[in-house]
Homo-oligomer: A and B are copies of this chain.
Amino acid sequence: MRTIKITPIGYVKNSRTEPIDDNWYPVESAIELADELPAECLDGIEEFSHLEIIYYFHRSSTDFIASGHPRENKAFPKVGIFAQRKKNRPNHLGTTIVRLLKREERRLYVSSLDAIDGTPVVDIKPVMKEFLPQDTLRQPEWSREIMKNYW
């Protein structure tokens, strides 16, 4: 299996130093551009209200699991790793849509980023309406349950 090499393009700075599953809403974060990248990479980004952040679960040393119970809760069905958003994924990548609060030169201030302090960011993309689902979502009941206290 061919290996792909990627490098952090920035790092998360916030007040959460331990991986905790819930209550992310009050956490505001800064994303600081990596030293190697010029500030102009962020030019024009403030025209967008929302950004998609792709990041790397750097503290997730836990092994990959092919399937398991969401939140290790046996009340929920056992489902494959690609049917849930758990950290124990093959490539330890996370993605989240955040709200952009402000840009300052090499730094973005965002809300609703569910990544802890020091997390390496590997990409930032602007969110466009045309890339969001245009029809109604269907999702299982367990996924609504685990999201109740997430934000």
Q: What is A's interface to B at a CB cutoff of 8 Å? A: 1-9, 34, 36-38, 40-45, 47-52, 54, 56, 66-67, 77-85, 89-91, 93, 95-97, 99, 120, 122-133, 135-140, 143-144, 147, 150-151
Tell me whether A91 and B48 are in contact (CB under 8 A): no
| A148, closest chain B residue (CB) | B130
Q: Considering the chains assembled together, what is the distance between the CA atoms of A85 and B139 in angstroms? A: 27
- Residues of B within 8 Å of A91, CB to CB, are 6-7, 9, 122-123
Q: A54-B95, A95-B52, A133-B50 are in contact. Are A124 and B4 (CB under 8 A)?
A: no
Tell me whether B43 and A83 are in contact (CB under 8 A): yes
Tell me whether A80 and B139 are in contact (CB under 8 A): no
